[in-house]
C-alpha cells in the first residue's frame, strides 16, 4: 500500500510556541502533515525534519487589502506544502460556502500547494449523500481533482468522540470515489482521507478495512502519546 497520509489538524491549539515545538517533534515522521495555527508554522517548520507542514486555511487572493487574512504565497514561503480548505468549522462558524472554497482551492493549486478539501454530511440522519456530492462537485469545480486530497469528515464525528462506523465510512468512501470517477477524468486517482474522532484504537481500521488513503486527526493529534500510537499503528500496517 502507498504510504498513508496522516494530517494533524491542531485547530486553535496549543497556546505557546514551546508547546507547539514539543508536540511537533513527537509527530515528526514521514507521511505526517502537521497543520499548526498560522502563528506557529515557522517554529514548527524549523523544528521538524521528516514531517510536512500544512496550514488550516488561507484566503482566496494572493495579496491586497484583506485585513486579517493569509495568502497562500506567504504559506508557500514559510515552507507549507498543504492547505486544509473548507473544514466544517470554517463552513459553520465563518460562513464559508462552496463557491469561496472553490476559489481558495484554485489559488492554492496555482501556488503549487496541495489543497485538502474537507467534505461531509451536515446531519447524521439524512444519509448525507446530497451534502457530500454538492460539496465535492462545487468545491472542486473544473479543477484537476487528482491534485486535490479529499477528506471525508462526517459532522457528527468531529470532536465528539463518536467516530463514524468503519462500515458506514467505507460506504461513503465508495460513494465519493464513484462521484469522482463519474465527474472527473482520472477522478478515482484522488486520495480520500477519513476524519472525525480518530484515535489510536480506530485509526488503522479506516485504512485497512475501509480503504481510506489516510486520516485527518484533530484532538488526538495534540496528545503526544496518543498521536505516537496512531502513527505507529498506521505505519505498521
Note if 92 is an active site residue: no
Note if 153 is an active site residue: yes
- Kindly write down the DSSP assignment for every residue of 70-92, as one continuous string: --HHHHHHTT--EEEES-HHHHH
Shortest reach from residue 198's CB to ligand PGA, in Å: 5
Piece of 26-34, 94-102, 137-145, 211-219 that binds ligand PGA (CB under 6 A): 211-219
Task: Name the active-site residue from 111, 121, 153, 170.
Answer: 153
Distances (CA, A) of 73 to 34, 63, 70, 147: 18, 8, 9, 18
Per-residue contact track with ligand PGA, 167 to 206, x per CB under 6 A? ----------------------------xxxx--------
Which residue is nearest to ligand PGA, using beta carbons? 218
If we measure between CA atoms, which residue out of 213, 99, 211, 195 comes closest to residue 148? Answer: 213
Rounded Cα distance between 38 and 113, Å, is 16
Shortest reach from residue 24's CB to ligand PGA, in Å: 17
Q: Is 216 one of the binding residues for ligand PGA (CB under 6 A)?
A: yes
Rounded Cα distance between 149 and 194, Å, is 11
Shortest reach from residue 65's CB to ligand PGA, in Å: 31
Q: Is 154 one of the binding residues for ligand PGA (CB under 6 A)?
A: no
Shortest reach from residue 169's CB to ligand PGA, in Å: 13
Nearer to ligand PGA, 190 or 217 (CB): 217
Q: Is 214 one of the binding residues for ligand PGA (CB under 6 A)?
A: no
Q: Name the 3-class secondary structure at 23.
A: helix
Residues 8, 227 contacting (CB under 8 angstroms):
yes
Instruction: Label residues 54-83 b or e (16+ Cβ within 10 Å = b).
Output: bbbbbbbeeeeeeeeebbbbbbbeeebebb
Q: Is 217 one of the binding residues for ligand PGA (CB under 6 A)?
A: yes
Q: Is 159 one of the binding residues for ligand PGA (CB under 6 A)?
A: yes
Nearer to ligand PGA, 102 or 221 (CB): 221
CA 94 to chain centre: 17
Shortest reach from residue 151's CB to ligand PGA, in Å: 7
Residues 104, 115 contacting (CB under 8 angstroms):
yes
Residues that bind ligand PGA (CB under 6 A): 9, 153, 158-159, 195-198, 216-220
Q: Which residues are catalytic?
A: 87, 153
Amino acid at each position: 500500500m502507498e504510504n498513508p497520509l496522516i494530517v494533524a489538524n491542531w485547530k486553535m491549539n496549543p497556546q505557546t510556541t514551546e508547546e507547539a515545538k514539543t508536540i511537533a517533534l513527537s509527530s515528526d515522521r514521514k507521511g505526517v502533515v502537521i497543520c499548526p495555527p498560522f502563528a506557529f508554522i515557522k517554529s514548527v517548520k524549523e523544528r521538524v525534519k521528516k514531517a510536512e507542514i500544512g496550514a488550516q486555511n488561507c484566503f482566496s487572493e494572493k495579496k491586497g487589502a484583506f485585513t486579517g487574512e493569509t495568502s497562500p504565497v506567504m504559506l508557500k514561503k514559510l515552507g507549507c506544502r498543504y492547505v486544509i480548505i473548507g473544514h466544517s468549522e470554517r463552513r459553520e462558524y465563518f460562513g464559508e460556502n462552496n463557491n469561496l472554497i472553490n476559489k481558495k482551492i484554485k489559488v492554492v493549486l496555482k501556488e503549487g500547494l496541495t489543497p485538502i478539501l474537507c467534505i461531509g454530511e451536515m446531519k447524521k440522519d439524512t444519509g448525507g449523500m446530497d451534502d457530500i456530492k454538492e460539496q465535492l462537485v462545487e468545491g472542486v469545480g473544473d479543477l484537476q481533482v487528482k491534485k486535490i486530497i479529499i477528506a471525508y469528515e462526517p459532522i457528527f464525528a468531529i470532536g465528539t468522540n463518536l467516530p463514524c462506523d468503519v462500515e458506514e465510512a467505507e460506504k461513503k468512501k465508495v460513494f465519493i470515489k464513484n462521484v469522482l470517477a463519474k465527474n472527473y477524468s482520472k477522478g478515482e486517482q484522488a486520495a480520500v482521507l477519513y476524519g472525525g474522532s480518530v484515535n489510536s484504537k480506530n485509526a488503522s481500521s479506516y485504512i485497512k478495512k475501509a480503504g481510506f488513503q489516510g486520516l485527518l486527526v484533530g484532538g488526538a493529534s495534540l496528545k503526544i502519546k496518543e498521536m505516537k500510537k496512531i502513527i505507529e499503528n498506521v505505519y505498521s500496517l
